[in-house]
A and B are shown apart, each in its own frame.
Chain A
Amino acid sequence: MKGLPPVVITAIVLVAGFAICATQYPNIASTRVVGNLLTDNAFLGIVATGMTFVIISGGIDLSVGSVIGFTTVFVAIAIERLGIPPWLAFVAILVICAAFGAAMGGIIHLFDLPPFIVTLAGMFLARGASFLLSTESIPINAPIYSTVSDFALRLPGGGRLTAIAIIMLIVIAAGALLLHLTRFGANVYALGGSRATTALMGIPVGSMTVRIYMLSSALSGLAGIVFSFYTAAGYSLSAVGVELDTIAAVVIGGTLLTGGQGTVIGTFLGILIQGLIQTYITFDGTLSSWWTKIVTGVLLFAFIALQQAIIVLARRSVLRRAGATS
């Protein structure tokens, strides 16, 4: 039941926020808006799942936004200019992304470098590479794109559960299972708790680090594919700054930035909160959209303060217990 209290708080914030928005704009409480929230944030949900693993393990991955951008351009060029069948392009890009993540994880472990610096380099590398491929937005006209974007389960009330929203929900469910029910997941928590202890426990820290960053980059690649479905185009400037939105969602979702605590479901709620703020601002129509960033910033502060409070309280209770036994 690690990290449960912050998740509950995140859930309360989301429900309360939704209720407040709905009292002001009744249309928000419709399946259409809920469907939109899932569709519009599908790519974010997928990258954020990977980011949750990285942050729980005590790391950070700044390269995710650029990897999404690179993926959209790669897929567009492979399908439209080189005539490669879409499924093959998807497999190829997922392999490339996984290798890219593995390389970053390997460097972090081998040279004992801070993940911040290594993934920052990865971020510039991937963004630069996508500009090298093309600086223009390339439309993708492959039939599978219109099939996927036309596919949607109709919800009562005019809402649509689109294919990309379904992909995100599957990724989140799978991510939650992997994190909470497998040995791999348990090792991720252990790594975030303390690297040295983890090594002493006989867990292969190196291969864990490689696999965690591999997972994050592969999910960024998948998010990039989803993003290309979303816009039916590949553009080297797409998903700029998404790494920061993602980290914010993970933290608002109750994951400890220092590692060792967190849940995938919390991250999902964090994504929905950000999406809700954005929806509210468009519904209002007079507020500057930069308020999204401001409210996210305030929430972020609140959650970091909350986490610190929890850590302090936990320490105090440990001390008290230690005092009682001695």
Chain B
Amino acid sequence: MTLKALFAATATAAVMFSLPAGAAQLTVGFSQIGSESGWRAAETSVSKQEAAKRQVNLKIADAQQKQENQIKAIRSFIAQGVDAIFLAPVVASGWEAVLKEAKEAKIPVVLLDRDIDPSGKDLYLTAVTSDSVHEGEVAGEWLAKTVGDKSCSIVELQGTVGASVATNRKKGFDDVVAKHPNLKVVRSQTGDFTRAKGKEVMESFIKAEGGGKSICAVYAHNDDMMVGAIQAMKEAGLKPGKDILTVSIDAVPDIFKAMAAGEANATVELTPNMAGPALDAIIASKDKGTVPPKWIQTESKLYTAADDPQKIYDSKKGLGY
């Protein structure tokens, strides 16, 4: 009896809820990798803000670093009949079957932050990613401009060996250095993208370079390593930001704190706002049928002490970095 009543209730509710919902509010499903880094947590919170700004109903599924969870989430977004799917793929391969299903269901897919294997090119609408070679170039150009004609020995803190981001950020920076004979990378080692390792490697650089007197600038592939390096320089009695120039990438809140204290000079932002451009592309394609370019490059913005670092720190610290 109770079961029957339950089923009856289910059926009634099903009829009630399946009535067409209010006008044309878009629903977007976002399969996020996880919250493994501060940047990713910030990306999630910024995505929510951007969706709210455009009155889009954003459903986020955290995959806890597992591809199978992402595939499940995409399938269930398809079953829900969402208007679009955002995917930040945890690995590059293995998406074809599920993206084909999305395509069959006529649901556009937008890749955020990372790309997938070229064989899946026609299965997504567009990819919103930053160009990490370009990030390295922006960092290099800032340094070249700041140093001018003086000769400058640079030490470099690399990211994790083999990580494509590290390779690309190195390449972009090296390309700029090659064009300026007065710049020279004298030492380059991996700091594994971590604060502790960044500090350790910087300490050994300082020892190797005669107490750090001959170092003119530090380039780190991310801000975390730079924060560690700043610590090492201070402990060695050097003045980072004055004696030694610093430039790094990511624009996490802590580097702005260092900048406000005059201990860091510049950072290149890897924007956590990938969802904003993606939402605009989806809205444009729904409203006007505009086909977006296959790749939407996010801006790699340079921040220096001139940009009121304290204010940026305050605005960024609540994002979950």
Taking Cβ atoms with an 8 Å cutoff, the residues of A that contact B are 15-16, 19, 22-23, 25-30, 32-33, 36, 39-40, 137-139, 141, 146, 149-150, 160, 227, 230-233, 235, 238-240, 278-279, 281-286, 288-290
A selection of 24 A-B contacts at a CB cut-off of 8 Å is: A23-B10, A26-B14, A26-B17, A29-B10, A30-B79, A36-B76, A39-B75, A40-B75, A139-B94, A146-B96, A149-B96, A231-B67, A231-B93, A232-B96, A233-B94, A235-B91, A239-B68, A279-B72, A279-B79, A282-B29, A285-B61, A289-B61, A289-B62, A290-B64
B99 CB to nearest A CB, Å: 11
Distance in angstroms from A17 CB to nearest chain B CB is 11
Contacts of A288 in B (CB 8 A): 62
**Distance (Å) between the CB of A1 and the closest chain B CB?**
22
Min distance, Cβ B211 to any Cβ of chain A, angstroms: 39
Contacts of B59 in A (CB 8 A): 282-286
Instruction: Answer yes or no: B81 CB below 8 A from chain A CBs.
Output: yes
Contact B119 A141 (CB under 8 A): yes
A284 to B94, CA, bound (A): 26
A98–B293 Cα gap in the complex (Å)?
50
Q: Which of B1-25 contact A (CB under 8 A)?
A: 3, 6-7, 9-10, 13-14, 17-18
Select one of A139, A235, A281, A283 contacting B67, CB under 8 A: A235
> For residue A139, which residues in chain B have a CB less than 8 angstroms away from its CB?
92-94, 117, 119
Query: Which residues of B lie under 8 Å from residue A235 when comparing CB positions?
Result: 67, 91, 94
- Among B61, B78, B117, max chain A CB count under 10 A is at B61
Contact of A289 among B3, B64, B80, B119 (CB under 8 A): B64
CB atoms of A282 and B68 under 8 A apart: no
Total interface residues in chain B, CB < 8 Å: 42
Residues in B whose Cβ lies below 8 Å from that of A29:
10, 14
Q: Given A39-B75, A282-B72, A288-B62, are A232 and B14 also a contact pair (CB < 8 Å)?
A: no
Q: Are B80 and A27 in contact (CB under 8 A)?
A: yes
Judge if B178 is at the interface, Cβ distance under 8 Å.
no
With both chains docked as a complex, state the minimum distance between the C-beta of A78 and any C-beta of chain B, in angstroms: 16
Q: Considering the chains assembled together, what is the distance between the CA atoms of A268 and B101 in angstroms?
A: 25
Contacts of A284 in B (CB 8 A): 59
- Report the separation of the CA atoms of residues A230 and B98 in the bound assembly, to the nearest whole angstrom: 9
Q: Which of B299-315 contact A (CB under 8 A)?
A: none
Q: Which B residues lie within 8 Å of A282 (CB)?
A: 29, 59, 61, 72-73, 76-77, 80
Distance in Å: Cβ of B62 to nearest Cβ of chain A: 4
**B279 in the interface, Cβ–Cβ < 8 Å?**
no
Contact check, B10 vs A231: say whether CB atoms are below 8 A apart.
Answer: no
- Is B147 interfacial (CB 8 A cutoff)? no
B72 touches A138 (CB 8 A): no
Contact flag A36-B79 (CB < 8 Å), given A26-B18, A285-B29, A289-B61: yes
Interface status of B60 (Cβ within 8 A of chain A): yes
Query: Digit string of B103-117 for contact with A (CB within 8 Å is 1, else 0)?
Result: 000000000000001
Residue pair B94, A19 in contact (C-beta under 8 Å): no
B73 touches A22 (CB 8 A): no
Seed contacts A26-B14, A231-B93; 6 additional CB < 8 Å A-B pairs: A19-B10, A137-B92, A139-B94, A141-B119, A149-B97, A150-B97
Chain B residues lying within 8 Å of A16, measured Cβ to Cβ, are 6
Q: How far is the CA of A141 from the CA of B60 in the complex (A)?
A: 30
Cα–Cα distance between A47 and B256 once the two chains are bound (Å): 50
Say yes or no for B220: interface residue by CB 8 A criterion: no
In the complex the two chains form, is B7's CB within 8 Å of A19's CB? Answer: yes
CA distance A281 to B7 in the complex (A): 22
Tell whether, in the assembled complex, residue B76 and residue A232 are in contact, meaning their CB atoms are under 8 Å apart: no
Encoded as 1 (CB less than 8 Å from any A CB) or 0, chain B from 48 to 81 comes to: 0000000001111111101111011101111111
Q: Which of A15, A36, A240, A286 has the most CB of B within 10 A?
A: A36
* Bound complex: CA A207 to CA B14 (Å): 54
Q: Is the CB of A23 within 8 A of B13?
A: yes
Q: Are A289 and B76 in contact (CB under 8 A)?
A: no
Q: Which residues of B contact A40 (CB under 8 A)?
A: 68, 71-72, 75
The answer to whether B79 and A27 have CB atoms under 8 Å apart is yes
Task: Establish whether residues A285 and B58, one from each chain, have CB atoms under 8 Å apart when the complex forms.
Answer: yes
- Which of chain A's residues have a CB closer than 8 A to the CB of B100? 149-150
Q: Can you name the residue of chain A whose Cβ is closest to the Cβ of B116?
A: A139
Q: Are A137 and B79 in contact (CB under 8 A)?
A: no
Cross-chain contact of A25 among B64, B67, B80, B97 (Cβ < 8 A): B80
* B93 nearest CB neighbor, chain A only: A139
Name the A residues within 8 Å of B7 (CB-CB): 19
Interfacial chain B residues near A137, Cβ < 8 Å = 67, 91-94
Q: How far is the CA of A26 from the CA of B91 in the complex (A)?
A: 32
Contact B119 A33 (CB under 8 A): no
Most B CB contacts (10 A, CB to CB) among A32, A230, A231 go to: A231
Q: Which residue of B lies closest to A235 (CB)?
A: B91
Q: Hey, which chain A residues are within 8 Å of B97, CB to CB?
A: 149-150, 230-232
